[in-house]
Structure 1
Amino acid sequence: VGPSGGGKSTCASLIPRFWDASSGSVLVGGVDVRDIDPHELMDHVAFVFQTNKLFHQTLADNVRAARPDATDEEVREALAAAQCDDIVAKLPRGIDTMLGTGGAYLSGGEVQRVALARAILKDAPIVVLDEATAFADPENEALIQRAFAHLACGRTVIMIAHRLSTVVGADKIVVLDQGRVQETGTHAELLSRDGLYAKMWAEYERAASWKIAAAAEEVVAAKGGEA
């Protein structure tokens, strides 16, 4: 977590070698990622971005892109773990429905859940989530959060988030600002230090309270000022 432009996505992108560190090193299993065969590294890392694109293929093939030899049953299990049962149920041909032009279209939050199903099917030991809930509506965000529980089981998950509520339960929170680590610790530990994270959390809570208050005022106004 950290302010916009603090280096969160850049830092996470060093793991799958979207680019390399100019100094220092990134180790996976004690080995510098630059010394790992790129194909082997990709087998060990799955990533979900804030904006994901689906292919003009069936839903099953979109999920199966992570593991082409997966069976239909394995695809269905990954979709269920990613909270996509409602998506499958509404499509005319289920997982065999074509997506895109001439087929079915999914909302941004639904696309995110399909992308999570793809990551779950890949079964990689390291998962990078870059703002995976950024453009999801509240209903889809709740489902995505449930999918995270399946995705995180037995894996190392690197999650980049603006919504601090999504990282409260993390084993370790790293606060980045201007490309440098400012603080690390659990949610409780960081709050007790009254540093950058504590300030960000206070701002997050104020923003949440403001939205609730604004909604309440609209309700009162709609009722002609009655409490």
Structure 2
Amino acid sequence: VKIGGVDIREIPQGDLMKMVAFVFQDPKLFKDSLLENIRAGRPSATREEVLKAAHLAQCDDILKKLPNGIDTIIGSQGIYLSGGETQRISIARAILKDAPIVVLDEATAYADPENEHQIQKAFDGLIKNKTVIMVAHRLSTVQDADQILVMKNGAIAESGTHSDLIKHQGEYAKMWDNYNKTVQWHIES
């Protein structure tokens, strides 16, 4: 893997970490205020910059419902966030970091439909003008990607845009067909 033509193994780890923001499927928050949890993305950020990142990450509704807004301490007095809300706070942290490379590792895996919609909107604030590496099993998450790499047995089986891969009728097309069948499932009442 190369960044700007340089093998990442030749880049000092500290410099490499400054270039990459991560959003994991199961992010962790510190027992601290939401302000400080988001500020972890860039410790020198001002309060206004943190609030802007929270807004871009679709966190306004979260902040409004908490007793002290962005100054609410998470994990104290029984105040906890859902998985999808925690994910949006994690996205705000990544927005604030403003790294040129963003890694999204199953970032919508545990989200309910409402939070998934909010998370998808939050991605818009995160990925604009960035190189994004998205690890996903949910195909709807990747269909708008510039390039999709399909992995099979630890190797790249095929690559291309969504349309190219559908036309190719390979592994991705089979997965897409199966995905579309499951989307239509419903329980008879």
Bigger Cα Rg: 1
Match of 2:154 in 1: 179
| 1:42 to partner: Cα distance | 0.6
Structure 2 counterpart of 1:69, one-letter code: S
1:88 aligns with 2:88: no
Matches within 5 A, 1:51-200: 51-102=26-77, 104-200=79-175
Match of 2:25 in 1: 50
Can you give the 5+ residue segments of structure 2 that lack an aligned partner in the other structure? none
Q: Deviations over 1:105-151 (max 9, x none)?
A: 10000000000000000000000000000000000000000011111
Structure 2 counterpart of 1:196, one-letter code: E
| 1:103 to partner: Cα distance | 5.4
| 1:96 to partner: Cα distance | 0.6
Can you give the 5+ residue segments of structure 1 that lack an aligned partner in the other structure? 1-25, 219-227
- Point out 4+ residue stretches in structure 1 off by more than 2 angstroms: none
C-alpha distance in structure 1 between counterparts of 2:32 and 2:100, whole Å: 27
Q: Is the contact made by 1:97 and 1:103 (CA closer than 8 Å) also made in structure 2? A: no
C-alpha distance in structure 1 between counterparts of 2:129 and 2:169, whole Å: 32
C-alpha distance in structure 2 between counterparts of 1:42 and 1:140, whole Å: 28
SS for the counterpart of 2:151 is strand
Q: Is the contact made by 1:56 and 1:98 (CA closer than 8 Å) also made in structure 2? A: yes
C-alpha distance in structure 2 between counterparts of 1:163 and 1:41, whole Å: 28
Structure 1 counterpart of 2:61, one-letter code: D
Structure 2 counterpart of 1:207, one-letter code: T
RMSD: 0.8
Structure 1 counterpart of 2:30, one-letter code: F
C-alpha distance in structure 1 between counterparts of 2:109 and 2:50, whole Å: 25
C-alpha distance in structure 1 between counterparts of 2:26 and 2:94, whole Å: 14
Structure 2 counterpart of 1:135, one-letter code: Y
SS for the counterpart of 2:184 is helix
C-alpha distance in structure 2 between counterparts of 1:106 and 1:183, whole Å: 38
Count of residues paired in the alignment:
189
Identity %: 59
C-alpha distance in structure 2 between counterparts of 1:49 and 1:134, whole Å: 9
Task: Choose the corresponding residue for 2:5, options 12, 30, 52.
Answer: 30
C-alpha distance in structure 2 between counterparts of 1:174 and 1:127, whole Å: 16
SS for the counterpart of 1:104 is coil
Structure 1 counterpart of 2:59, one-letter code: C
| 1:45 to partner: Cα distance | 0.3
| 1:188 to partner: Cα distance | 0.5
TM-score normalised by length of structure 1: 0.82
